[in-house]
Amino acid sequence: MFQGYWAAVVTPFRHDRIDVAAFERYIVTLVEAGIRGVVVGGSTGEALSLTREERLQLIKAATHVAENRVPVAAGVITATTHEAVQQAKEAEQAGAVALLVVSPFYVKPSSEGLYEHFRAIHEATSLPIIVYNNPGRTGVDIDLNTLKRMTQLPRIAALKEASPQISRVLSWKKSLRTDFAFLSGNDDTVPAFLAMGGQGAISVTANVAPRLCTELYNAWTNADLETFTRIRNQLAPVHETLFVAPNPCPTKYALSVMGLIRDEVRAPLLPLTDLEQLAVRRALQDASLLTT
């Protein structure tokens, strides 16, 4: 299940309410473009701004529209184990088939604390778990020994690695279960990540270029290096520009000019400046994702 491009989807708002109709149309475009899975309520989905009811609404809408064509994973984004267990249980009940669980942020837990956090979620649910390592956001970096302990739990199934140390894939794979998957959390390093032995990505860029991302992965698996190189180069400016401002502000703006959602974020995030908007438009045009 954990291979290829998964989209870390945004949460569309209309006047500060979830725009369910736009969300469902947007999920359909991702599925039809060949995306392997979607992650709802992650960092790109503005998880920390969502209420409990909104998280469940998004999971139910995504699973309804996906209609078993692609798996839907739910983000578990919180700093406490108690709340993480509650989010995980509710996500399972709402229809999610996997969990993306971020390391507890701000509190900087010990290795033992990290292990116990993931163990508690594992024991409370029956879903496969993607461990989300994002030290830039959480302040803690999961090391190999801690991950090895986690993977002794049978449903710890994959790692979303968002640190800059992509060489970990090559060195860590030999120490972990053969069925354990490595997914990139950084779009700009996906080509190198795949070359290091990774199985795919949980991607921001896949929101605006799902077909190109799918074609890039297929070219890699088919050893079509000419196509792989062409698409890699085509997507490079998009990766950079989608982080010209805090995520997901540029992605939401891009999706709005593509006619998929409204450009609306929740504070403390802010809309793009005129210069940032221009940069996003140019990147989309350069990648042939926007014609006007």
Amino acid at 111: S
The two tokens of residue 208 are: 């605006």
The sign of the dihedral angle between the CA atoms of 142, 144, 146, 148 is positive
Scanning the structure block, which residue is given the tokens 């077909």? 211
Name the active-site residue from 132, 217, 252, 253: 132
Q: For Cα atoms 31, 237, 214, give the angle at the middle one, nearest 5 degrees.
A: 25
The maximal CA–CA distance of the chain, rounded, in angstroms, is 53
Our answer to whether residue 160 is catalytic in this structure is yes
- Each as own residue / partner, the long-range contacts of residues 165-171 (CB below 8 Å, 24 or more positions apart, any chain) are 166/192, 166/193, 166/196, 166/198, 167/196, 168/144, 169/193, 169/196, 169/197, 169/198, 170/196, 170/197
* Cα distance between residue 132 and residue 149, in whole Å: 15
* Cα distance between residue 230 and residue 226, in whole Å: 6
Our answer to whether residue 132 is catalytic in this structure is yes
Name the active-site residue from 160, 217, 252, 253: 160
Instruction: Report, as residue numbers or ranges, the catalytic residues.
Output: 132, 160
